[in-house]
Structure 1
Amino acid sequence: MSRFRKVFAAALVMAATAGAAEAGRLGLGREALPEEVAAWDIDIRPDGQGLPPGKGSVKEGEALFLEKCAACHGEFGEGAARWPVLAGGFGSLKSAAPEKTIGSFWPYASTTFDYIRRAMPFGQAQTLTDDEVYALVAFLLSMNDVVKDDFVLSRDNFTSVKLPNEAAFYLDDRETAEKHFWRKDPCMTACKDKVEITGRARVIDVTPDDKDKSMKVE
């Protein structure tokens, strides 16, 4: 069971217990039914835990994408108007205008599946079948040159898919990397005589410029 599921289940138990007590006093509330809990418990882990049965091909996903997604994300995932770009952006993360797409930035294919299944299409969340979600993910992987055009994505082969930027993500290491400058006695009250705003981002222009070699872009 994932950490999210454990926390969610514990919260439901606490809510149900409190609800039962209140129900006896106020006549309100009831314990959540198993099917109601299952309807919320739909998170997908990078190791594939939580994936439903199903499959979908790149070709099927393309048709679905054009019908349900292209109005916002463009026919090729390039983004329409100010809607998110989903494909491309390779090698752009260190530039002044990085494109954080599925292929250039996202670490796991499970993030794509989880988000589409949970929140897309915009305004019609959770209307897609599991096979349709597999197909859409397959198409987006293809658009990012992760899989070939004849690829069929399923629960069985899902974890074999590796996104290009996975290795660039790492666990939060502040406990070791930053601990040397942590203060043992942090100031909690009256730390400064006054607080003064000396500049605003839109005025001082903090956006790095590719031509400015003196500014290192992370």
Structure 2
Amino acid sequence: MSMPRGRGLTAGLLLIWACGATAAEAVQAPRLGRPVDARDAARWDLSVFPDGRGLPAGRGNALDGAPLFRQHCAACHGAGGHGASAEELAGGSEPLTSPTPDKTIGLYWPYATTIFDFVRRAKPMAAPGTLSADEVYALSAYLLFANGVIGEHDEMNAKTLPKVRMPNRDGFIGIDAPLPH
């Protein structure tokens, strides 16, 4: 059974009025969250590109990163990044052309800057975004070292990280504008 035209709206407004709300309050969107000011927006404007745009000042090497990895990452990713309850990050041996490929950082990821970008945004799991730039550079260096891509003493920073040539750099087909090699 349908209600005559206009009576549904009247009945709805009566119900809202009976609950103590005005018609104006009934049509407003819920007031969830809070406005974002420019300073807050800048904290989340973290994109890092393969050519290094977006990398902050800072530095670190694998020696600095090893204790950070043990503290923040090993519980899930295992000693040396060889896997535990979370993905294996290092130590893979089967290339992507294998029937059972290893998608570790060294065999899969095409750009070293992706490590920095991901770690800065998403890690540690219980407190994402809390690591300093130096800590993220050190963890990136440690993961590159654990994958045999750089040396233990090689410093990673905004100039050196984008220059790291990942083994799978040419393993993806670009769908956007070509990136510089």
Give the TM-score range, shorter chain.
Answer: 0.7 to 0.9
Indicate the residue corresponding to 1:79 in structure 2: 83
Hey, what's the Cα distance between the residues in 1 that align with 2:79 and 2:118? 19
Indicate the residue corresponding to 2:60 in structure 1: 56
Indicate the residue corresponding to 1:190 in structure 2: none
Structure 1 stretches of 5 or more lacking a match? 1-24, 174-218
> Which protein has the larger Cα radius of gyration, Structure 1 or Structure 2?
2
Indicate the residue corresponding to 2:159 in structure 1: 156
1:106–1:166 contact (8 Å) kept in structure 2 = yes
Q: TM-score, normalised by structure 1?
A: 0.63
1:73–1:86 contact (8 Å) kept in structure 2 = yes
Q: Number of matched residues? A: 148
Q: TM-score, normalised by structure 2?
A: 0.75
1:110 to 91, 113, 117: 113
Following TM superposition, by how much is the alpha carbon of 1:91 offset from its aligned partner in structure 2, in angstroms? 3.9
Indicate the residue corresponding to 2:13 in structure 1: none
Where 1:47 maps in the other structure, the secondary structure is: coil
RMSD of aligned residue pairs (Cα, Å)? 2.1
Counting only pairs closer than 5 Å after superposition, residues 26-175 of structure 1 correspond to structure 2 as: 32-81=36-85, 83-172=86-175
Following TM superposition, by how much is the alpha carbon of 1:94 offset from its aligned partner in structure 2, in angstroms? 2.2
Indicate the residue corresponding to 1:10 in structure 2: none
Q: Which amino acid in the other structure matches residue 149 of structure 2?
A: V
Greater Cα offset, 54-63 or 92-101: 92-101
Hey, what's the Cα distance between the residues in 2 that align with 1:109 and 1:134? 11
Where 1:97 maps in the other structure, the secondary structure is: coil
Hey, what's the Cα distance between the residues in 2 that align with 1:32 and 1:72? 34
Q: Which amino acid in the other structure matches residue 80 of structure 1?
A: A
